[in-house]
Amino acid sequence: MHEWTGELRLDIEKRHGKSVAKNVYFQGAFKVMRPVYHDDSGQVCYYILNPGGGYLNGDRYRMSISLEENAALILTTQSATKVYKTPFKEAYQETEINLKAGSILEYVPDPLIGYRAAKYKQINRINMEKGSTLLYTDVITPGWSPDGKRFSYDRLQLINEIYLDGALVAYDHIKLTPADQEIEEIGFMEGYTHLGSMIVVGEETNADLLDRLYDTVNIASSEYKIGVSMLAVKGFTVRVLANSTQNVEAIFSKIHQIIRQEWFGTKPTMLRKY
């Protein structure tokens, strides 16, 4: 059996018109705050905490998130995930998510910051039933380095596997290794420092929606570049290259607002943390 630095299990069900925790378990360097309801839709929000303050050499984290039919959850973090120097063994996190029909998961963690000599691997395996909805984002940012180097981390690797009714429908793999790649050049970061990714899977996706989303965020600017692509199933991805976390989050926020208003009939939620 693996020994985990932090472990979290969260099972959500819908009861009397509200989404509530059916089961909550955490141990080690993972905790969750008390549930928050930002509006009267019945959707519950949980904030994940890491009391340790950051990921260190050889740390291992595991999360299991399950939503029963028609349950709705916003899952976020209290602060950025900071990965510090890992001289001997990478820090590692794996997450398994199970979404039943009619459920809605908005998983919006704060940025991942890789500091000097950091090595980190993350795997998200998401199992969806037809009729469920997923909105997931991640933002990769470089941490401060004493020599002023823009990319001082060793390796940041993020893998997302999405299954719909048991079939693999999307596989997203980002692996940034500045020592081995021309990380500043075309095909990699192209002169930018921050990389944002959004993955949305939902039955309401269509070409008209993507055109409107792209028109909303595609404002000519040297501060960022944006790409929007359809998935093989009802869904889409957004990729953003930028020079600040604020630029990436502003773009994702605009898209998120449209999705919430048109798909869920709810107002945008402010996940204030500071």
| DSSP assignment string, 138-182 | EEEEEPP-TT--S---SEEEEEEEEEETTEEEEEEEEEE-TTTS-
pTM of the model: 0.95
User: Would you say residue 4 lies in a domain?
Assistant: no
Nearest to 122 by CA among 164, 85, 72, 160: 160
Which pLDDT value is given to residue 269?
Answer: 75
Measured from the Cβ of residue 231, the count of other Cβ atoms closer than 10 Å reads: 17
pLDDT for 1 beyond 50: no
Residue 202 CA to residue 204 CA, distance in Å, equals 5
Asked whether residue 259 is assigned to any structural domain, the reply reads yes
pLDDT at res. 219: 76
Tens of pLDDT, residue by residue over 48-60, are 998 778 999 999 9
pLDDT band at 218 (very low <50, low <70, confident <90, very high): confident
Is residue 69, in this structure, part of any structural domain at all?
Answer: no
Asked whether residue 71 is assigned to any structural domain, the reply reads no
pLDDT in tens, 118-140: 999 999 999 999 999 999 999 99
pLDDT in tens, 98-119: 999 999 999 999 999 999 999 9
In a domain, 194, yes or no: yes
Domain count for the chain, please give it: 1
Question: Torsion angle of alpha carbons 192, 198, 204, 205, nearest 10°?
Answer: 40
When pLDDT is averaged across residues 174-202 and rounded to a whole number, the result is: 93
Q: Mean pLDDT for the chain?
A: 93
Percent of the chain at pLDDT exceeding 70: 97
Task: Give yes or no for residue 274 having a pLDDT over 60.
Answer: no
Would you say residue 21 lies in a domain? no
Domain coverage including residue 151: 81-264
Does the residue 103 lie in any domain? yes
